[in-house]
Amino acid sequence: MGWRAREWPLPATLGSMTTSGEPFVDRLARAMAATRSIACVGLDPVLEKLPAAAREGRSDVDAIGHFCEGVLQAVAGVVPVVKFQSACFERYSAAGVGKLHALIAQARELGLLTILDAKRGDIGVTAEHYAHAALVAAGADSLTVSPYLGFDTLEPYLAAAGGGKGLFVLVRTSNPGSDGLQSLTLADGRTVAVAVAEMAAEFGRKSMGANGLSSIGAVVGATKAGDAAALRRAMPDQVFLIPGFGAQGGKAEDIVPMLRARPLTGHASSLIEHGVLVTASRSVIYPTSIGDAAASWAEEVSKSAQNLNRELAQILNSGL
Amino acid sequence: MGWRAREWPLPATLGSMTTSGEPFVDRLARAMAATRSIACVGLDPVLEKLPAAAREGRSDVDAIGHFCEGVLQAVAGVVPVVKFQSACFERYSAAGVGKLHALIAQARELGLLTILDAKRGDIGVTAEHYAHAALVAAGADSLTVSPYLGFDTLEPYLAAAGGGKGLFVLVRTSNPGSDGLQSLTLADGRTVAVAVAEMAAEFGRKSMGANGLSSIGAVVGATKAGDAAALRRAMPDQVFLIPGFGAQGGKAEDIVPMLRARPLTGHASSLIEHGVLVTASRSVIYPTSIGDAAASWAEEVSKSAQNLNRELAQILNSGL
């Protein structure tokens, strides 16, 4: 086996990261400050891509669990947040879901904030069940949700686990076919995505942090830079969770127009004032610089995350 | 305990209901013919509503499983389809997901077609994972999906489990707040819901049954009767999965404008030609006619389903 993640020294400030009740966006601000990073590492584990050493002698779901543990240890203290792709675990039925929940708990123990990327959306009492499933049973700090059924359906998530959890509403996604619905033009000239953005901003006022930003953020793909300025105007107080950077073709110049321009009033300058959390998965968790050299894998993952941090720091510097 | 569902005699035709590869919509047509029913019973089990006899001496998740088993036995042979609300099981973590999968298998053994109501929606390879999770790992015959990310994201479901599975695309939902997005007017005069309906109809051509209808159906709430005629025009070959009848306020006159007018060419008259599958949950699985009389519970559930069948038969008669 040999594939052991090294122990990463945790900054002392990370210990209290999971304080319940404190608004998600304030916890996010502290985590960004502690790691000096606006990066999120996505855990989309796929069996075929795991290093052989992670699979050896393990069941499929145990191999995925072992691999993810290594990634968590490698990126703790390097980035503020990890994002779990629910589908990659759900495909392994109950065992996969059990593993997902254990990994979320482990991430939180390591001081990492967690996003459960499950894109849930349903009505009434069913939304309450999803809120419980994701934010209590799975114990994630935040969840991605769909706006198609209307923002009334997002209410139950605000109260879940006693409050203080975060949401990221799908507004503009990074896939080629997302234009089909999201780019349709309304009678008033707005696109569907901008209309959803305005609704998200209004809904977001129900869950503001002490830092003046909302715990209700938005998913905005890095590949949709043409819409970025309009979406930022519509959502001045939202943190954008930005997928599509790197592997899906999103570039630095796609991120710049998504940055918030205004400093946070009454607060010292802080990384969260830029209002972006950039998520990368494949480019970090499957580093190409080594083959199957098990011993150095975790170190390479950590280096990839640090490289991502440097790339993003350059974007912030150039964008201001 | 004492709460035992009676054994329901299965029509001989139901045995082959789960033939793999045969288009979902053709299997649905046979199941409707065999049961003479266009009803779907929704399993949205909530602990607080279970009869005391189902809970006695059981863990929460076992009580829900036991209750659902009783409902499945009570409605097998009475209705063609059951719909499982994924959230109600997900809230019990891995144990709940395991129970859900076992119940889906049991429903199929009883000759019931299954809908997994999970409203999934994600892009690319993630959609493949969800397709595998719902249609292979969970083994459902069909799945509810969200259109917000674009119809390219629904492609992976067509190939799952070797083909032949069904989808129901969220088009117009029954909750009050659904107007927020779905009723917005586009520059060309259509509503967002009608635009989605037209995309669903076009996408649906990729998965047509021998009977001339599509295995890609649509979710259209019974409480949105004002939109019904326009949605039926946009989706002539879609089966409408209709929630909101009964408990949520949908009435007979809301269903009538959703009925297909044209007979299926080249086929004997058949129930599926009406193009509607009406789903009811609370009004069937929690019958109000008895208190906690355990012994007769399953019989009352079966009677409620038969009452629903009669109500729907009257609608079909009045609507033609």
Residue B159, pLDDT above cutoff 80:
yes
Cβ neighbours of B93 in A, within 8 Å = 97-98, 101, 133, 137-138
> Between A and B, how many residue pairs show a Cβ–Cβ distance under 8 A?
184
User: What pLDDT sits at residue A289?
Assistant: 61
Q: Cβ contact (<8 Å) for B138 and A93?
A: yes
Write the DSSP symbol of residue A44: -
Dist. CA A58–CA B313, nearest whole Å: 55
Q: What percent of chain A has pLDDT over 90?
A: 77
Q: Determine whether B119 is an active site residue.
A: yes
Contact B196 A181 (CB under 8 A): yes
B284-295: average pLDDT: 69
Max Cα separation, chain A?
Answer: 61
**A272 Cβ contact partners less than 8 Å away, ≥ 6 residues apart:** A25, A28, A29, A32, A33, A38, A211, A213, A239, A264
Question: Which pLDDT band holds residue A165 (cuts at 50, 70, 90)?
Answer: very high
Q: Average pLDDT in the B5-11 region? A: 40
Q: What percent of chain B has pLDDT over 70?
A: 89
Over residues A286-292, the mean pLDDT reads 67
Q: Which of residues 146-165 of A touch B (CB under 8 A)?
A: 146-153
C-alpha distances out from residue B167 to A234, A284, B100, B155, Å: 34, 34, 19, 11
- Based on its alpha-carbon atoms, the radius of gyration of chain B, rounded to whole angstroms, reads 19
Q: How far is residue A153's CA from residue A200's CA, in Å, rounded to a whole number?
A: 12
Sign (positive/negative) of CA torsion B198, B199, B204, B206? positive
* The overall pTM is greater than 0.80: yes
Q: What is the tens place of the pLDDT at every residue in A196-224?
A: 999 999 999 999 999 999 999 999 998 87
Task: Tell me which residues of A are annotated as active site.
Answer: 119
Q: How confident is the model at residue B266 (pLDDT cuts 50, 70, 90)?
A: low
Considering CB atoms only, which of A121, A153, A185 is closest to B186? Answer: A185
pLDDT at res. A82: 98
Mean pLDDT of chain A: 90
Q: Is the pLDDT of residue A268 over 70?
A: no
Torsional class of B163: left (φ above 0), alpha (ψ -120 to 50), beta (otherwise): left
In this prediction, residue B34 carries a pLDDT of 96
pLDDT at B14 over 80: no
Chain B nearest C-alpha distance from A93 (Å): 6
Return the H-helix or E-strand segment holding A266. Answer: none
Q: Is A119 helix (H, G, I), strand (E, B) or coil?
A: strand
| Separation of alpha carbons A191 and B186, rounded Å | 9
Would you call B185 and A185 a contact, using CB atoms and an 8 Å cutoff?
A: no
Distance from B122 to chain A by nearest Cα, in Å?
A: 7
> CA of A298 to nearest chain B CA: how many angstroms apart?
24
Task: List the structure tokens of A66.
Answer: 């072992």
* pLDDT for A112: 98
pLDDT digits (tens, 9 = 90+) for B61-109: 999 999 999 999 999 999 999 999 999 999 999 999 999 999 999 999 9
Task: Tell whether the torsion through CA atoms of B54, B55, B56 and B58 is positive or negative.
Answer: positive
How sure is the predictor about A13, in pLDDT bands with cuts at 50, 70 and 90?
very low
Query: Above 50 in pLDDT, residue A265?
Result: yes
ipTM of the complex: 0.92
Between residues A225 and A130, which one has the greater pLDDT?
A130
How much of chain B exceeds pLDDT 90, in percent?
77
Residues of A in contact with B199 (CB under 8 A): 180-181
Confidence label for B225 from pLDDT (cuts 50, 70 and 90): confident
Nearest CA in chain A to B85: A126
Q: What is the pLDDT of residue A14?
A: 44
Q: Which two tokens stand for residue B32?
A: 């409707």
What contacts A188, CB < 8 A, 6 or more positions away? none
Which of A49, A93, A203 should one mutate to test binding to chain B, selecting the residue with the greatest count of B CBs within 10 A?
A: A93
pLDDT the model gives residue B12: 40
pLDDT band of residue A3 (cuts 50, 70, 90) is very low
**Which listed residue (B49, B83, B99, B119) is catalytic?**
B119
Is the CB of B147 less than 8 angstroms away from the CB of A148? yes
Q: Do residue B153 and residue A137 have CB atoms under 8 angstroms apart?
A: no
Q: How confident is the model at residue B289 (pLDDT cuts 50, 70, 90)?
A: low
Is the pLDDT at B4 greater than 90? The verdict is: no
* CB pair distance less than 8 Å for B101 and A93: yes
Residue of A nearest to B124 (CA): A175
pLDDT-wise least confident of B176-180, B252-256, B292-296: B292-296
Q: Do residue A181 and residue B98 have CB atoms under 8 angstroms apart?
A: no
Minimum-distance CB partner of B94 among A94, A124, A177: A94
A101 in B contact zone (CB under 8 Å): yes
Averaged pLDDT score across all residues of chain B: 90
* Low-confidence winner among A75-84, A273-282, A289-298, B278-287 (lowest mean pLDDT): A289-298
- Cα separation of A52 and A66, whole Å? 12
pLDDT recorded at residue B293: 55
Q: What is the pLDDT of residue B221?
A: 93
A185 touches B: beta carbon within 8 Å? yes
Interface contact A179, partner B, CB < 8 A: yes
pLDDT at B3 over 60: no
pLDDT of residue A174: 86
Query: Does B20 have pLDDT greater than 80?
Result: no
Chain A touched by B138 (CB under 8 Å):
yes
Nearest to A119 among B87, B121, B186 (CB): B121
User: CA-nearest residue of chain B to A189?
Assistant: B187
What is the 8-class DSSP label of residue B175? S
Is some CB atom of chain A closer than 8 A to the CB atom of B95? yes
Point out which residues pair with A245 in neighbouring strands: A250
> pLDDT tens digits, residue range A16-60?
444 468 999 999 999 999 999 999 999 999 999 998 888 999 999
pLDDT at A6: 39
Q: What is the pLDDT of residue B319?
A: 59
Query: Sorting pLDDT into bands at 50, 70 and 90, what band is A263?
Result: confident
B186: which DSSP letter? B
